[in-house]
Structure 1
């Protein structure tokens, strides 16, 4: 996937301050939020389906 030198070169870029995060950090943040929302939605659907079956 990535060679060791490519990964090491990504870590060498360390400015004194960062205004913007790299695009892959932003993508992973959004992906994590979407996965959490889907998990909560799926859990809610399972709970409501179980409640409807037993009544």
Structure 2
């Protein structure tokens, strides 16, 4: 019985997140989240490409 209550208590926050998805879709905020994630990934890719160029330059100097 306690195990069931503990597992129910552990899953309770997930049901709250599922409800907020509908709110984000209805208000158009999901597009803001997608845009921010895309900007972060693009920035990370540009950073990694720059680091790769610098590392190759250092390797070629040796």
TM-score of the pair, normalised by structure 2? 0.60
- Higher helix share goes to which structure? 2
Runs of 4+ in structure 1 off by over 3 angstroms are none
Is 2:23 the partner of 1:44?
A: no
Count of aligned residue pairs for this structure pair? 47
Higher alpha-carbon Rg:
2
CA RMSD of aligned residues (A): 2.0
TM-score of the pair, normalised by structure 1? 0.66
Corresponding residue for 1:33? 42
